[in-house]
């Protein structure tokens, strides 16, 4: 047994042994319920079921048609892209309160590069992402080097970036807080289609022809496609879940958030992991900025206002602990969908949509209580 | 490994001195540990045990003195270096993350990976099998390698940490007070495991301030006091109460012990 170190790296260690061991009769099967209870996203799934049942009973049935689902998914996707990045960062043990302001600031940089800088769309997108990545790295390095709580450092950037967005907008427009004309100057083409409008239009036309989905009398489907943001949302959720649960980097995220010292002692590059996560949240904010700016054709200083809180709420509903080291990306995905369902769904009911914030606060409180309970169960903490 | 003389101890330090500014934490410590041997490092609080361990495990650089691993002088600049040289330290705070599964903890920082390109995945089939297998060897019947480390008892956690170090090829294990927070049954579980590790031919440095635990598994005993080695004794050459007195600085404790009817 003392020789197995080197073998392990090559994945060639002790071939026959594990298989025999796996059938050891003393290892009783773990019950399905126990295994479910161990999943951090259980609360979010339960919440989604609850919310769906609630709206199923109270809302106009139009909410559950294809068109209704798309109206719910659009805002859910924008929030979800942020929430998934915020969830990974929270599992890694840090917060980023600057992502809302980062949306406004990235929107400004992107808009100014196109309108003032006359850059082609692709170049502007790449430049904006590089810039955002640098901002994220700065956030991360300040947190790591000063060992200050990321809560405070990124709170400072919440104001700095929001203020800079205002200043920059007035500079770029000569006094206004709204920069127009981005949509026209961005032009059309493949790159534009990746970041704005709808996708899968051919599929939807075909589905309508085959009578699978609702269509107008002239044969065009009532829903012509999926907003590209929704596809980004799905792709990012799948990728983040894979990285978190199946890769080495994912294990390092859990370790860095669970106990940075223990992780360092075991050889995990904690600082690199945390910096990467800050870069990712900044890039997620930028993606949302580009998606929304191209759809609206303009950008303004209020873009992304309070999105940092909504993203963190969605992540917490998705099972992330505020203390780090525990949570899930797919949970944040469901959290964002709950968010979208409640914000849009209330307009389909007879309730005043002012109830939204009450509902939201209630969900958050319930989620935190539930997560706490589940965590104690899962870890046998007393 | 091939160039080292046959009988060279795994670790040998001579007259190690460590200053922190004006504070002298270690003022001339010498010890050695060979393969298949348990060296107990005894000392009361403030004797310099922690500084010595951190020096041996690469966290601190000694201010002066010799540090030989298998007969060759070394100068570690990080815990990683010490680990690469086969010196693994199991810290008191365990270096385990309670919310993570046993498997994830076992392979933390050294995950076995498969696949190509940027999205290599962890080979969880192998990782779970190895974890279950290793736990089985030391007599811990884990129901499920997915279960969080937080659900294990303190003794089991210590054993997982030791098993991890052994699995990843440690030649010398430094155990920092592994029994100090444990109950009787759990302590005997850890002591039994230390015995097992010695039988495998590893060198063990067992730090404790409990003479009873030290005497149960130790081959030799090095006593530290005020940053200096008071001496090293073979098990045959010293009785348990002598060791106890030596560690506590002799006379005063003896007086207290007599006052309390010999129960200290």
Q: Which chain A residues are Cβ-neighbours of B113 within 8 angstroms?
A: 11, 247-248
Mean pLDDT of chain A: 86
Q: Which chain B residues are Cβ-neighbours of A26 within 8 angstroms?
A: 141
Tell me whether B1 touches chain A (CB under 8 Å): no
Closest residue in B to A269 (Cα) is B109
Which 148-187 residues of chain B touch chain A by CB within 8 A?
148, 150-151, 166-169
pLDDT at A8: 38
Closest residue in A to B172 (Cα) is A2
Closest residue in A to B137 (Cα) is A1
Q: Are A270 and A93 in contact (CB under 8 A)?
A: no
Q: Which chain A residues are Cβ-neighbours of B86 within 8 angstroms?
A: none
The DSSP symbol for A31 reads P
**Among B80, B129, B202, whose Cβ lies nearest the Cβ of A21?**
B129
| Low-confidence winner among A78-82, A285-289, A371-375, B49-53 (lowest mean pLDDT) | A371-375
User: How far is Cα A69 from Cα A50, in angstroms, rounded to an integer?
Assistant: 17
Closest residue in B to A30 (Cα) is B144
CB contact under 8 A, B169 and A6: yes
C-alpha distance from B238 to closest chain A C-alpha (Å): 32
A227-245 residue pLDDT tens: 999 999 999 999 999 999 9
User: How far is Cα B106 from Cα A212, in angstroms, rounded to an integer?
Assistant: 51
pLDDT higher than 50, residue A5: no
CB pairs under 8 A between A and B: 144
Domain A43-373 matching CATH 2.60.40: the answer reads no
Q: Which chain B residues are Cβ-neighbours of A380 within 8 angstroms?
A: 148, 150-151
When comparing pLDDT for A354 and A20, which is higher?
Answer: A354
**Among B91, B120, B148, whose Cβ lies nearest the Cβ of A248?**
B120
Angle at the Cα of B137 from the Cα atoms of B134 and B143, rounded to 5 degrees: 70
pLDDT at B253: 57
If we measure between CA atoms, which residue out of A327, A310, A324 comes closest to residue A361? A310
CB contact under 8 A, A4 and B143: no
Q: Which of A379, A381, A382 to mutate to test the interface with B (most CBs of B within 10 A)?
A: A379
pLDDT class for A100, splitting at 50, 70, 90?
A: very high
Tell me whether B81 touches chain A (CB under 8 Å): no
Tell me whether B82 touches chain A (CB under 8 Å): no
User: Which residues in chain B show pLDDT less than 70?
Assistant: 1-7, 92-94, 249-264
Q: Any idea where the domains of chain B sit in the sequence?
A: 11-97+170-259
Q: Which chain B residues are Cβ-neighbours of A266 within 8 angstroms?
A: 95, 108-110
pLDDT class for A314, splitting at 50, 70, 90?
A: very high
When comparing pLDDT for B18 and A30, which is higher?
Answer: B18
C-alpha distance from A15 to closest chain B C-alpha (Å): 9
When comparing pLDDT for A287 and B92, which is higher?
Answer: A287
The CA–CA distances, whole Å, from A300 to A98, A214, A285, B151 equal 17, 36, 15, 51
Whole-number percent of chain A with pLDDT over 90: 50
A170-224 residue pLDDT tens: 998 888 888 888 888 888 888 888 898 888 888 888 888 888 888 888 878 888 8
When comparing pLDDT for B161 and A382, which is higher?
Answer: B161
B77-116 residue pLDDT tens: 877 788 888 888 887 666 788 889 999 999 988 888 888 8
pLDDT at A225: 87
pLDDT at B93: 67
pLDDT at A10: 40
CB contact under 8 A, B150 and A27: no
Cα A127 from chain centroid (whole Å): 22
pLDDT higher than 70, residue A380: no
Q: Any idea where the domains of chain A sit in the sequence?
A: 43-373
pLDDT higher than 80, residue A382: no
Q: Are B220 and B194 in contact (CB under 8 A)?
A: no
User: How far is Cα B11 from Cα B68, in angstroms, rounded to an integer?
Assistant: 6
pLDDT at B72: 86
**Among A38, A267, A325, whose Cβ lies nearest the Cβ of B97?**
A325
CATH for the stretch B11-97+170-259: 3.40.50.300
**Among B89, B136, B150, whose Cβ lies nearest the Cβ of A21?**
B136
Q: Are A47 and B157 in contact (CB under 8 A)?
A: no
Q: Are B62 and B56 in contact (CB under 8 A)?
A: no
Query: How many C-beta atoms surround the C-beta of residue A84 within 10 A?
Result: 32
CB contact under 8 A, A267 and B168: no
When comparing pLDDT for A296 and A34, which is higher?
Answer: A296
Q: Which chain A residues are Cβ-neighbours of B174 within 8 angstroms?
A: none
A113-150 residue pLDDT tens: 999 999 999 999 999 999 999 999 999 999 999 999 99
**Among A251, A266, A379, whose Cβ lies nearest the Cβ of B150?**
A379
* Tokens found for residue A120: 């082609």
Q: Are A273 and A256 in contact (CB under 8 A)?
A: yes
Give exposure, A87-98, as e/b (b: 16+ Cβ within 10 Å). bbbbbbbbbbbb
pLDDT at A253: 96
Which residues have a Cβ under 8 Å from the Cβ of A177 and sit 6 or more positions away? A166, A169, A170, A300, A301
pLDDT at B263: 56
CB contact under 8 A, A379 and B144: no
Tell me whether B79 touches chain A (CB under 8 Å): yes
From first CA to last CA, the distance across chain B in angstroms is 45
CB contact under 8 A, B125 and A18: yes
* Tokens found for residue B156: 């089991």
ipTM above 0.85, yes or no: no
C-alpha distance from A255 to closest chain B C-alpha (Å): 7
Whole-number percent of chain A with pLDDT over 70: 89
A258-277 residue pLDDT tens: 999 888 878 889 999 999 99
**DSSP reduced 3-state for A333:** helix
Q: Which chain A residues are Cβ-neighbours of B79 within 8 angstroms?
A: 264-265
Longest dimension (CA), chain B: 71
């Amino acid at each position: 047994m003392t020789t197995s170190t080197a073998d392990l790296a090559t994945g060639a260690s002790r071939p026959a042994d594990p298989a025999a061991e796996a059938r050891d009769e003393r290892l009783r099967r773990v019950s399905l319920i126990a295994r479910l209870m161990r999943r951090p996203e259980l609360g979010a799934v339960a919440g989604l079921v609850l919310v769906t049942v609630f709206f199923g009973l109270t809302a106009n049935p139009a909410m559950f048609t294809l068109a209704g689902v798309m109206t719910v998914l659009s805002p859910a996707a924008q929030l979800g892209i942020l929430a998934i990045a915020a969830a990974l960062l929270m599992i890694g043990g840090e917060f980023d309160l600057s992502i809302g302001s980062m949306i406004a600031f990235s929107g400004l940089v992107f808009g100014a590069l196109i309108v003032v800088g006359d850059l082609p769309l692709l170049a502007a997108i790449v430049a904006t992402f590089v810039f955002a990545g640098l901002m994220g790295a700065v956030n991360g390095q300040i947190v790591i080097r000063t060992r200050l709580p990321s809560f405070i450092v990124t709170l400072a950037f919440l104001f700095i970036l929001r203020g800079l967005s205002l200043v920059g907008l007035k500079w770029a427009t000569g006094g206004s807080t709204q920069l127009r004309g981005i949509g026209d100057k961005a032009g059309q083409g493949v790159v534009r289609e990746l970041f704005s409008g709808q996708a899968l239009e051919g599929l939807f036309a075909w589905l309508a022809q085959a009578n699978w989905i609702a269509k107008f009398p002239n044969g065009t489907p009532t829903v012509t496609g999926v907003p590209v943001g929704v596809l980004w949302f799905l792709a990012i959720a799948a990728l983040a879940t894979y990285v978190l649960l199946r890769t080495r980097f994912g294990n390092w995220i859990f370790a860095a958030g669970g106990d940075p010292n223990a992780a360092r002692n075991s050889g995990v590059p904690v600082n690199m992991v945390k910096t990467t996560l800050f870069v990712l949240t900044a890039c997620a904010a930028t993606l949302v900025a580009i998606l929304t700016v191209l759809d609206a054709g303009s950008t303004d200083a209020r873009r992304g206002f309070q999105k940092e809180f909504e993203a963190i709420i969605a992540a917490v509903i998705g099972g992330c602990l505020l203390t780090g080291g525990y949570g899930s990306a797919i949970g944040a995905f469901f959290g964002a969908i709950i968010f979208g369902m409640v914000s849009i769904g209330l307009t389909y009911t007879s309730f005043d949509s002012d109830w939204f914030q009450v509902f939201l606060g209630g969900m958050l409180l319930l989620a935190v209580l539930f997560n706490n309970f589940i965590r104690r169960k899962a870890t046998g903490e007393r | 490994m091939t160039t080292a003389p046959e009988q060279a101890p795994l670790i040998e330090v001579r007259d190690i001195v460590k200053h922190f500014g004006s504070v002298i934490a270690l003022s001339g410590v010498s010890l050695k540990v060979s393969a298949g041997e348990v060296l107990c490092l005894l000392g009361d609080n403030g004797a310099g045990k922690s500084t010595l361990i951190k020096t041996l495990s690469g966290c601190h650089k000694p201010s002066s003195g010799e540090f030989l691993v298998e007969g060759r002088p070394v100068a570690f600049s990080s815990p990683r270096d010490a680990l690469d040289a086969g010196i693994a330290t199991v810290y008191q705070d365990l270096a385990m993350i309670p919310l993570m599964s046993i498997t994830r903890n076992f392979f933390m920082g050294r995950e076995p990976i498969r696949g190509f390109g940027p999205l290599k995945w962890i080979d969880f089939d192998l990782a779970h099998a190895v974890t279950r297998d290793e736990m089985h060897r030391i007599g811990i019947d884990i129901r499920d390698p997915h279960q969080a480390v937080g659900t294990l008892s303190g003794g089991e956690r210590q054993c997982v940490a030791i098993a991890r170090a052994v699995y990843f090829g440690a030649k010398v294990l430094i155990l920092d007070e592994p029994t100090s927070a444990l109950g009787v049954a759990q302590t005997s579980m850890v002591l039994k495991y230390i015995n097992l590790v010695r039988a495998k031919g590893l060198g063990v440095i067992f730090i404790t301030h409990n003479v009873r635990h030290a005497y149960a598994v130790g081959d030799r005993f090095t006593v530290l006091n005020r940053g200096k080695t008071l001496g090293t004794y073979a098990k045959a050459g010293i009785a348990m109460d002598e060791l106890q007195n030596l560690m506590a600085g002799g006379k005063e404790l003896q007086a207290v012990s007599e006052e309390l009817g010999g129960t200290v």
